[in-house]
Amino acid sequence: QVQLVESGGGLVQAGGSLRLSCSASGRTFSNYAMGWFRQAPGKEREFVAAISGDAAYTYYADSVKGRFTISRDSAKNTVYLQMNSLSPEDSAVYFCAARSMRATTRSPAGYDYWGQGTQLTVSS
């Protein structure tokens, strides 16, 4: 069982930056691929970024490529999402997810554990 707790959301102006954190319980953090997803009101949950268990591979949605960076710190059992050049279209609840294998996937169905989400609001 893995428990995930996101933090770092809030209100930011367009063009600004923010870093989300996701703290994971458990002793084998490196065995889990981690992903970030987001869901805006009235929309389906969508893939944002993912990182493999060994941090060797990262993947991004086209909409955030070049602006967002996913990383992980195994010593802290934490995964991060650095978000730059934010726009109002990035406003959503952001969810952290863990997959019970080291390889990543873009599909929400491929993740076994989810955090409660943290709200990001970008004002224009």
Q: Tens digits of per-residue pLDDT, 39-50?
A: 999 999 999 999
Query: From the CB of residue 63, how many other CB atoms can be counted at a distance below 10 Å?
Result: 14
> Nearest 5°: CA angle at 86, between 106 and 32?
30
Q: Output the CA torsion sign for 104, 109, 111, 117.
A: positive
- Give the angle subtended at the CA of 16 by the CAs of 15 and 21, to the nearest 5°: 135
pLDDT in tens, 52-108: 999 999 999 999 999 999 999 999 999 999 999 999 999 999 999 999 989 899 999
Give the type of residue at 81.
L
Please answer whether residues 111 and 104 qualify as being in contact, where contact means their C-beta atoms are separated by less than 8 angstroms: no
Judged by DSSP in three states, 96 sits in strand
